[in-house]
Amino acid sequence: MRRIAIAGASGRMGRTLIEAVLASPDCVLSGALDVVDSPALGQDAAAFLGQTSGVPIGADLRAGLADAQVLIDFTRPDGTLEHVRLCRELGVQLVVGTTGFDEAGKAAIAAASEDIAIVMAPNMSVGVNVVMKLLAIAAKALGEGYDVEIVEAHHRHKVDAPSGTALAMGEVVAGALGRNLQDCAVYGREGTTGARDTQTIGFATVRGGDIVGDHTVMFCGTGERIEIAHKSASRATYAQGSLRAVRFLAGQPRGLFGMDDVLGLPATVT
């Protein structure tokens, strides 16, 4: 049994992860963490399911990780980086689904992976990671003559834009086309923009309601348009992907891995 702690335990994703862990035949919930002002502190982590797990939600990170082998973290960059620091100290492995890290944050996670094993991915969905492979194939085959636009939609509470998944899709397409996304990305358009630069990759962001996560990449040519899309109807797909990552880490002493490694997919060229 893999002993798992969950960060952000009272949030939407945290609860989905807790439900998945409790239903898993080879994982056990060992810790549930949340911020110090969470109204859920002290409650049983499974109370929202009408169950008892015996694990109270707490804000003491060290105590919450005391019996954990792996921490699953889908929170905010600042909080995740603090969790990474302590996990490195305690030898606790990590599955990181948090997005919105700057380059310094990514470097800190890479440094921690010299001592502990970490799976980090902008999207833990198995389907999304298969879509990444399809995008690389499409971009290489279509090459010049097709304009690339990426449209993503998420719930009203999401704080970063474009989503980490949309940016990762852009990186895959740009890499397959031999471009640098930082040089060719266009984030939104307004006013008199002039004709579209054929070398750019455009991003459009939608925020509203309870949309779990929709991503569509359009390759727009003359006389045809190819769309590769992934639409999430439930956060359960992210939770199941996270548990696959937990199982993968069981055989890893250290290192930084992605979902390509977890799923045994060939590395995406970016």
pLDDT confidence band for 266 (50 / 70 / 90): confident
Report if residue 26 sits inside a domain. yes
Supply φ then ψ for residue 101, to 5 degrees. -70, 145
Residues 73-116 pLDDT 10s: 999 999 999 999 999 999 999 999 998 899 999 999 999 999 99
268 part of a folded domain: no
What is the chain's Cα-based Rg? 19
Which residue has tokens 């923009």?
A: 193
Residue 60 shares a structural domain with residue 106: yes
- The proportion of the chain whose per-residue pLDDT surpasses 90, expressed as a percent, equals 92
The burial class, CB within 10 Å (0-12 / 13-18 / 19+), for 264 is exposed
* pLDDT exceeds 70 at position 268: no
Q: Please identify which of the residues 158, 215, 230, 231 carries the catalytic annotation.
A: 158
Residue 91 lies in a domain: yes
Same-domain status, 144 and 219: yes
Task: Write the CATH number for 107.
Answer: 3.40.50.720
Could you report the per-residue pLDDT of 22-50, keeping only the tens digit for each?
A: 999 999 999 999 999 999 999 999 999 99
What burial letters (b/e) apply to 82-102, b meaning 16+ CB within 10 Å? ebbeebbeeebbbbbbbbbbe
147 and 79, same structural domain?
A: no
Mean pLDDT of 252-270: 85
- Give domain status of residue 269, yes or no: no
**Do residues 103 and 180 both lie within one domain?**
no
| Same structural domain, 32 and 133 | no
Q: Which of 133, 140, 154, 157 is catalytic?
A: 154
In this prediction the pTM is 0.81
Let me know if residue 45 belongs to a domain. Answer: yes
Confidence of residue 269 (pLDDT cuts 50, 70, 90): very low
Burial letters for 194-216: b for 16+ Cβ neighbours within 10 Å, e otherwise? Answer: eeeeeeebbbbbeeeeebbbbbb
Residue 123 pLDDT level (bands cut at 50, 70, 90): confident
Residue 154 catalytic? yes
Which pLDDT score, from 0 to 100, does residue 136 have? 95
Residues 244 and 208 in one domain: no
Whether 251 maps to a domain, the answer reads yes
261 falls in which pLDDT band (50, 70, 90)?
A: very high
Residue 244 and residue 210 share a domain: no
Residues 150 and 220 in one domain: yes
Domain co-membership, 226 together with 239 = no
Same domain, 197 and 255: no
Range of the domain at 14: 2-120+235-263
Residue 166 above 80 pLDDT? yes
Q: Domain tally for the chain?
A: 2
CATH of the domain at 132: 3.30.360.10
* 187 in the same domain as 239: no
For residue 251, the model assigns a pLDDT of 87
| pLDDT tens track for 7-21 | 999 999 999 999 999
- Same domain, yes or no: 105 and 167: no
- Please indicate, yes or no, if residue 270 is contained in any of the structural domains: no
pLDDT for the residue 270: 42
∠ CA 119-121-124, nearest 5°, is: 95
Residue 191 is assigned to a structural domain of this protein: yes
Question: Is 106 labeled as catalytic in the residue annotation?
Answer: no
Are residues 249 and 93 in contact, defined by beta-carbon separation less than 8 angstroms?
yes
What pLDDT score does 43 carry?
Answer: 97
